[in-house]
Amino acid sequence: MSNTNQSFDYVVVGGGTAGSILANRLTANGRYSVLLLEAGGQGKGFWIPIPAGFSKLLTNPKFNWRFSTAPEESTLNRVIAVPRGKGLGGSTLINGMIYVRGQAQDYDHWAELGASGWDFQSVEPYFRKLENYAQGGEGRGTDGPMHICEVSERHTLSTALLDAAQQAGHPLNADYNSGDQEGFGYYQVAQHKGRRWSVVDGYLAPAQQRSGLTVRTDAHVLNLELDEQKRCTGVRYVHNGQTVTVNAKAEVILAAGAVQTPQILELSGIGKPEVLQNIGVPVRHALEGVGENYIDHFCTRMNWRVKGTDSLNELTRGLSLVSAVGQYFTRRTGILTLGTGLAFGFVKSRPELTAPDVQYFFMHASYANAAERKLDKLPGMTLGVAQLRPKSQGSIHAQSSDPYMQPAIKPNFLAVQEDQDSLIGGMQVARNIMAQPAMSRYVEQEMAPGSAVQSHADWLRFARENGQTIYHPIGTCRMGTDDNAVVDPSLKVRGLQGLRIVDASVMPAMVSGNTQAAVMMVAEKGADLILKDAR
């Protein structure tokens, strides 16, 4: 049964990071009605506000779409988990909370690729607008909706890492978000008073008090509605077993993320004609770039058996855990405030580079199963190693016309020689840091990849066998002005009226770090572009 029940000025598809920000900004002046559609639930659960709870959420189908890659030769035909947040707040409900703007050159590169108006000078005010950075400082926002602070925990091993990095010739960096990214220090995270601070806390909850905003959860979008003049007029979705068609008087805005936005376009007949033909959907609007240009961060995890001090492996068991839980619930401090990274490093894999090309994630913990976040029993520590700006491109396409079937995700990791060399160089630099006197006193042995790994071929095999995505998919509806671009620099879908995309899929190239800050910036600037056109 289908019914058409309502019209809104704007229909936003996806209640995640970008969608929550749009819902707030588009309703702020009280002039427009906005419907926010989210396929997941309310995004409420015991573990969500507790930072360490991410390990419980990463495998929970209630809060995670639990996508996975197709087996590919470049990663030895392994199926790799691709978590995506499900429910209001999207991936800010389940991510590691790490906040990294990236390098100025990243956004200048976007502009070079045809995304005019997205150079660093143009986007920097939006980072400041969204930030409420507890430590303050030059060029940082201090009154925005998103609470950002430095990780408060310190540990013998993280102190040793920073000392060892300096012994190896790397600088300390008090704020990697203030212009110069290079060096080592403690991560900045989206937290407030020891609790996770999601976009629901920062943007959506305040907006839900407004009469102009309607939020509908458990609303799975089937397709976009297009008229004969190539205008997107609305959205068809399923809610409580009913098929509902809703009209958008001004615009439909896709904010379903880099995995689901291209799928929704393809289910609506917008995309590569051969892909649409394969899934049996008639072509309504041919756009070659839909689902292409998929880029993600690929990360290897090097780990070491620890001696002479404890690690999270033991501190999260038995009486130690009971004590940590007590400390967290009485004082909001301790190990339960930790996410996926304690200390950071941004390094150059080769000295002649002009800017860091590798990012490190240090934790005084080691995993028996990284994908499921199962810790080892004996003391250990891990250094995640990721190349910042991968050149390898894959694709995300619908596999069928069934809107409930996950799309085919093909990352094509390590396809480009530069990506291989950069990652291997980063792992070699990491091994050198761990061999410095400040750290070597705590190292019993290198467990992974192990001292037997020495040659370029050995390192590459280790990366192919063990690397995982760190959940930063972008680019599948990229912004630009060439024939393969999906949206123009104002985020309008090329060749169609009344349809924009505002999420990670529009990014033309990868940013140097975790992507949540960049997605928030895209949503803030996207909201401004929409409101400017409305005026």
pLDDT in tens, 338-358: 988 999 999 999 999 999 999
Closest listed residue to residue 264, CA positions, set 105, 397, 79 = 397
From residue 198, alpha-carbon distances to 84, 87, 114, 159, 289 in Å are: 14, 12, 31, 29, 31
Same domain, 62 and 84: yes
147 vs 327: which has the higher pLDDT? 147
User: Domain check: are 329 and 457 in the same one?
Assistant: yes
* 447 and 431 belong to one structural domain: yes
For residue 408, the model assigns a pLDDT of: 98
Verify that 519 and 377 share a domain, yes or no: no
pLDDT, average across residues 451-470: 97
The answer for 83, left when phi > 0, alpha when psi is -120 to 50, beta otherwise, is: beta
Q: Parallel, antiparallel, or unpaired: how do β-strands 242-254 and 232-239 relate?
A: antiparallel
* Per annotation, catalytic residue among 109, 155, 285, 472: 472
Range of the domain at 383: 152-186+298-387+414-466
Residue 360 lies in a domain: yes
How far is CA 342 from each of CA 150, 157, 293, 295, rounded to the nearest angstrom?
A: 9, 10, 31, 25
pTM of the model: 0.97
Q: The domain that contains 251 carries what CATH number?
A: 3.50.50.60
157-173 confidence digits (pLDDT tens): 999 999 999 999 999 99
Distance CA(176)–CA(338), nearest Å, equals 19
pLDDT at 371 over 70: no
Q: Indicate if 109 belongs to the active site.
A: no
Q: According to the 3-state scheme, what is the secondary structure of 120-176?
A: HHHHHHHHHHHEEECCCCCCCCECCCEEEEECCCCCHHHHHHHHHHHHCCCCECCCC
pLDDT in tens, 372-413: 667 888 999 999 999 999 999 999 999 999 999 999 999 999
What 3-state class would DSSP assign to 31?
Answer: coil
Q: How confident is the model at residue 335 (pLDDT cuts 50, 70, 90)?
A: confident
Tell me the C-alpha to C-alpha distance, in Å, between residue 54 and each of 64, 92, 493: 11, 10, 34
179 plus 240 within the same structural domain: no
In 26-52, which positions are buried (b, 16+ CB within 10 angstroms) versus exposed (e)?
bbeeeebbbbbbbbbeebebebbbbbb
Cα 230 to Cα 304: distance, rounded to the nearest angstrom: 58
Q: Are residues 202 and 264 in the same domain?
A: yes
Long-range CB contacts (within 8 A, 24+) of 25-28: 25/203, 25/523, 25/524, 25/527, 25/528, 25/531, 26/527, 26/530, 26/531, 27/207, 27/210, 27/212, 27/213, 28/207
- Please count the structural domains in the chain: 2
Regarding whether 302 and 291 lie in a shared domain, the answer is no
In a domain, 191, yes or no: no
**pLDDT score of 59:** 86
Residue 117 lies in a domain: no
pLDDT at residue 192 above 80?
yes
